[in-house]
Structure 1
Amino acid sequence: MLSSSDFLADDSQVLDGNFQGLQTPEGDLHLRFSLSSGTELALPAVGVREVIATPPDRITPVPNTSATLLGVLNLRGQVIWVADAGQFLGEEVPINADRPEISIIAIEDEELVVGLAVDQVKGMEWLNPEAIVPPGNISDSMIPFIRGEWIMDEASSQSLKLLDAVAVIRSARWGG
């Protein structure tokens, strides 16, 4: 029978069944991403169903809908609405659809699933919810969807805004 120490080069790395050097993450896990304008946001991982990289032609446009809606996407047999996240949040810079793949974050609340097309997915990050401050310098159209922000760099005033997935999903903006 193999033990955990059989996989390590040095038995001194194991102490009472715990691995030395591994730190327990602090905070909650979030998906970090950016919009076309460069604005960085985060979503709690618990509300993210999955992240998809798909060719733009797999998103089927729907006529007579809002300009923020790119169309619908078949996600494993379920048809979901996909919006340009930046324009949905009131930013003027549209997503560049002239590229091989678009990153779409599928978010869910109960039975509802929608997709947000974003410029770039940056990865997963542990963020401390106690370090959130009220959002500063955001547009009126973005206010209903932002819960707060983390100040990532005081000197450059770089912040990471916390997006409220439930507010996005339940928004009347999906109705066009």
Structure 2
Amino acid sequence: MGEELKVIVFALAEEEYGIEVDKVRTIERMSPITRVPKTAAFIKGVMNLRGVVVPVVDLRGRFGLPEQEPTDNSRIIVVAVDDLEVGFIVDSANDVIDIDTDNIDTPPEIVGGVKAKYLHGIAKLGDSRLLIMLNLVEVLNKNEIEQLMQLEG
């Protein structure tokens, strides 16, 4: 049996995704986002989180999925990648679960329209439930991280 991995489960366009708990700083309700000019379309802008300016990325837009207006269930999951905190807009954040690392397989080329480079793997939960594990380093590639760092400035 592998190690237990604690994961936050969130939904995006009918699929369930996971991010390791130790990379998540906080989960927030939708709050005002200030648009920043000359950034990629999926970078929605910045928000003030308890006095800290945090760049906000729409994960639907990042993955090329159809964007939708936020609902009461929408959440912003604030994650830490290297020295950067970034908020991801997701359809909903559902729960925290433990996954045996032995149950995480290499992802196929595309899952639910999302390219494999953004994925860490696919976790099998029970007989019929799959959880798409995100590779945060690829979700925010180096050039984009540098762009976002300038936003924090």
What TM bracket, shorter-length normalisation? 0.7 to 0.9
| Count of aligned pairs | 144
Residue 112 of structure 1: which of 84, 87, 93 is its match? 84
- With structure 1 as the length reference, what TM-score do the two structures score? 0.71
- Which one has a larger percent strand, Structure 1 or Structure 2? 2
Q: Distance in 2 between matches of 1:110 and 1:63?
A: 24
CA deviations 1:27-85 (Å, max 9, x no partner) are 111000011x1121000001001111133xx1111123211111101112221111111
Superposed, which structure 2 residues align to 1:7-156 within 5 Å?
Answer: 27-35=4-12, 37-55=13-31, 58-91=32-65, 93-97=66-70, 99-100=71-72, 102-136=74-108, 137-138=110-111, 142-152=115-125, 154=127
- With structure 2 as the length reference, what TM-score do the two structures score? 0.81
Q: Distance in 1 between matches of 2:114 and 2:93?
A: 23
Gap regions ≥5 residues in structure 2: 149-153
Tell me the residue number matched to 1:10: none
CA separation of 1:78 and 1:49: change in aligned 2, threshold 3 A: same
CA deviations 1:59-112 (Å, max 9, x no partner) are 111123211111101112221111111221232x21323x45740000003421
Q: Distance in 2 between matches of 1:128 and 1:90?
A: 30
CA RMSD of aligned residues (A): 2.4
Gap regions ≥5 residues in structure 1: 1-25
Identity %: 26
Which protein is bigger by CA-based radius of gyration?
1
Pairing 1:163–2:140 present:
no
